[in-house]
Amino acid sequence: MESVTFKDTRKSKDIEAALKQLDHRTLVAWAAECAEYVLPLFERQVPNDDRPRRAIEAGRAWARKEISMSGARAAASAAHAAARDAGNAAATAAARAAGHAAATAHAVVHAAHAATYAAKATAYAAQPSEAAAAIAAIREWQYMQVINTVQK
């Protein structure tokens, strides 16, 4: 099978600019949404590993002030370990998206990384001829999630 090379869209710059309008806790919640969008790509590959799901939940819990930043960071580390164990490019990228979503509790720059890994997961799951369209579609969805959040 032909492999997919990830080539991001210009929309990523629009997303990064829009993210600057969100406060820290809202960024974590947005990053969690991005990661959850592609989580099935991991869970289909590794159904008995809930570390990425727990990382997404930890990020959301931190955003609600229910856990500490160190708790979210621990969950992020576990999701990245799951990524190393996944054995499939799409599943690995999806787990990394979850890890970065939780890590956003520590540093806001991780939010954009969560979105990028979600876009990578989508691309790697697509047929090579459909990867560019898949990336464009998820980046548009991510952007609209930011815009809708900013407008609330």
Contact predicate 88/59, CB 8 Å:
no
**What sign for the dihedral angle of Cα 40, 109, 82, 26?**
negative
The answer to whether residue 6 sits within a structural domain is no
The range of the structural domain enclosing residue 59 comes to 11-151
Decide if 130 is inside a domain.
yes
pLDDT at 1: 47
pLDDT band at 2 (very low <50, low <70, confident <90, very high): low
Report pLDDT digits (tens) over 67-77: 999 999 999 99
Q: What is the number of domains present in the chain?
A: 1
pLDDT in tens, 72-93: 999 999 999 999 999 999 999 9
Task: Tell me the three state secondary structure of residue 108.
Answer: coil
The two three-digit tokens of residue 83, written as one number: 């990524």
Is the residue at 1 inside a domain? Answer: no
Higher-confidence position of 91 and 152: 91
